[in-house]
């Protein structure tokens, strides 16, 4: 699921989502977005990105949320860019009118795999970092996201 050109960024935690995007030719910006909009994937060559795509994440949200939103939008870029058209806007629940529920699930799974690689989680746990909050802190994600990744109830 994770493209070869960004696998090396998943070798250490927290994963550098901005570097992953850069390697895929996508620029990421943090900006004030419309109410209840967490992220936008935009096809706009005027920003000068190699791919012609840019991601905006809501600067008013916590950093862990911005990271997950950027990874989610990057998932749409990798998996669904042909379906994006000019703009894909995800609300605060990371749902878009332009994408099917299946596409949203796939983008969330991509984001989780990118930000919380299971082999790194396993290594952390073997080294004694085994609480949800400890792992969430190490990986720069919310405790809820880590709980979901670990298959725990939320």
List the domains of the chain with CATH numbers.
14-115 (1.10.10)
- Name the helix (H) or strand (E) containing 87: strand 87-91
Whether the predicted pLDDT of 89 surpasses 90: no
Nearest to 32 by CA among 53, 51, 58, 50: 58
Nearest to 49 by CA among 71, 72, 77, 11: 77
The whole-number pLDDT of residue 98 equals: 66
> What is d(CA 114, CA 2) in angstroms, rounded to the nearest whole number?
7
The whole-number pLDDT of residue 93 equals: 64
Whether the predicted pLDDT of 112 surpasses 80: yes
The whole-number pLDDT of residue 104 equals: 84
Confidence of residue 92 (pLDDT cuts 50, 70, 90): low
Higher-pLDDT residue of 129 and 95 is 129
Task: Check if the beta carbon of residue 94 is closer than 8 Å to that of residue 57.
Answer: no
Confidence of residue 121 (pLDDT cuts 50, 70, 90): very high
Confidence of residue 153 (pLDDT cuts 50, 70, 90): confident
Collapsed DSSP state (helix, strand, coil) of residue 148: helix
Nearest to 13 by CA among 146, 143, 145, 115: 115
- Name the helix (H) or strand (E) containing 29: strand 26-31
Torsion, Cα of 91, 24, 48, 79 (10° steps) = -40
């Amino acid at each position: 699921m994770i493209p070869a050109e960004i696998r090396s960024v998943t070798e250490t935690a927290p994963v550098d989502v901005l570097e992953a995007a850069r390697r895929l030719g996508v620029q990421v910006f943090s900006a004030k977005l419309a109410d209840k909009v967490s992220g936008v994937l935009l096809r706009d060559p005027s920003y000068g990105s190699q791919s012609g795509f840019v991601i905006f994440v809501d600067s008013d949200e916590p950093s862990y949320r911005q990271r997950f939103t950027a990874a989610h939008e990057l998932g749409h870029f990798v998996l669904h860019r042909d379906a994006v058209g000019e703009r894909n806007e995800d609300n605060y629940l990371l749902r878009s009118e332009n994408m099917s529920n299946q596409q949203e699930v796939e983008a969330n799974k991509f984001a989780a795999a990118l930000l919380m690689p299971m082999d790194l989680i396993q290594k952390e746990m073997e080294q004694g970092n085994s609480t949800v909050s400890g792992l969430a802190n190490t990986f720069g994600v919310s405790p809820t996201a880590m709980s979901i990744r670990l298959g725990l109830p939320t």
